[in-house]
Structure formats: structure tokens, C-alpha cells
A = this chain, B = another copy of it.
Amino acid sequence: MDSQYVPTGIPGVDKALADQGIPRGHTILIAGGPGSGKTTFATQFLYKGATEYGEPAVYITLDEDPEDMKKNMSKFGWDLDQLEREKKLIFINVSPVRVGPTEKAGLVQLGMKEFKLIKLLEAIRTGIEQVQAKRVVIDPITIFTLQYPDETERIYAMRDLIADFRKTGCTNLLISELKGTGLEREHQFEEYLAQGVILLRTIIKGEKLVRMFQVAKMRGLAVDTQPRPYEITDDGIQVYPTLTVFQ
């Protein structure tokens, strides 16, 4: 039977998550700036799940071509094509753009401004069924929320998405783009709706910029909420859960 927590398999992260992982079935926001390694974090989560924990996965891209993404991730030594062939991973592109007939299977084709919640949910369900997925990533959720200029509708749409996710039993990551760079900032509404929030930011420490990992919120788990340094190494994300980032 499934355990109550889902290990991420990312070095240092599970230690910060009370030596457990993400509470099973929760939807977690991975929020960071450009170049912070959000996609690397999410891919590593799925790759480790598929190869080490026997949990198949769905990666839903809203912004990047899956072939490009797989190529970019190959530098970490993760053979995503092989996982796809073994039906342990499926990439689904639900970009809301007009695309030509040469695009690969698994594509949901949508015109501009027609990209609605129902289509995204269909793609999620189809993907989960095809590989019996236990883990799902949506990258980035920003493209989805852009469809709803009205604030109330946007919040409801995100709530519905998370509620639907809850029913699938999968553990999910939503990639979210931080608006600004400072330590002091406005919260983004998704942070209140998701069951957990992991921030990937940078601060100046002495003569250097330092990458800073923080579990800002994790419902149902007593986590370490201190910011911790992390790096993007040749093997992917590496968090240092016992080091501090403030002088």
C-alpha cells in the first residue's frame, strides 16, 4: 500500500521535509524566478519517482516543447526518452498556440484564448490513465491563470484545478513564476490555495549570489521552514539542509 508521504528523491529536500517527503495527494507550488531551476526541480521529482520509487508520472508543459525540454534535461544524465518508452513517464503539451501537423502525439490543440480549465483537466486525466501516474507536474501554471483576468474567477479556477487534482490521488507540482526578486514581496494568490509552497530564490551573501531553497508552507507536515542554500549541479538540484543562508 502507498505510504503517507512521497519522497522527492532530490538530495537534501526530503530532509527538509521532516525526513519524509510531500504529503501524498497534495499539490505543491514550486515558485522561483527565471533560471532558478524550477523545471529541473520538477523533472528530477518525476525522474526519481519513476526510477527509484516506482511511481509513473505525467509532465504537462504549457510553455516549452517537450523535445526541447528533454534535451535540456539530458545534461543531468536523465534518459527521459527511455522512461517514455517504458510507459513510466508521459509528456503532454497543452500549449494554447496553433501548431502544425508535425507535432508529436499527446498534444492537445487549442486556439488562442480558448484554453480553459476543462481542457487542462482532460489532458491531466488522459495522461494519468495512460501510465497509471502517481505524480503530475504542470509547467508553468502562469499560462493557465492568465486566461482569467478577473481576480475572483482566477482564484476559483485555481481552486477547482487543485480540488480536481485532489481526487486523482496523485502528488503534484505546479511551477509558478515569481513576480519580483526581493526578500520582501507580495504573496501571489496561488500560495494560499496550494497545500504547500517551495520557494527557489537568490540572495547576496558576502561577495556572491547564493541560491536559497525554502519550504514556506507544507500542510500536514512539520517542516523546516528556514531558507537553505541549494545548487544546480551536474546531477540536478542539491539542497544543503543544514547550512544557513543569512550571515
Interface residues of A (CB under 8 A from B): 23, 33-35, 39, 63, 65, 68, 71-72, 75, 95-97, 112-113, 140, 142-143, 146-147, 149, 151-153, 155-156, 159-160, 163, 166, 177-187, 191-193, 195, 197, 202, 204, 206-209, 215-222, 225-227, 232-234, 244, 246-247
Q: Is the CB of B112 within 8 A of A156?
A: yes
In the complex, 18 of the A-B residue pairs with CB atoms within 8 angstroms, ordered by the A residue number, are A34-B187, A34-B191, A35-B215, A65-B166, A68-B219, A75-B220, A97-B159, A113-B152, A146-B152, A179-B187, A180-B184, A181-B185, A204-B246, A206-B246, A206-B247, A208-B226, A209-B225, A209-B226
Complex contacts, A163 vs chain B, CB 8 Å: 65, 97
Q: Is the CB of A152 within 8 A of B147?
A: yes
A221 and B35 alpha carbons, distance in the complex (Å):
11
Number of copies: 6
Q: Is the CB of B208 within 8 A of A246?
A: yes
Complex contacts, A233 vs chain B, CB 8 Å: 222
**Shortest beta-carbon distance from A241 to chain B in Å:** 14
**Shortest beta-carbon distance from A16 to chain B in Å:** 13
Q: Taking A35-B217, A204-B246, A226-B209 as contacts, is the C-beta distance between A193 and B63 under 8 angstroms? A: yes
Q: Is the CB of B181 within 8 A of A177?
A: no
Q: Is the CB of A186 within 8 A of B192?
A: no
Q: Is the CB of B187 within 8 A of A220?
A: no
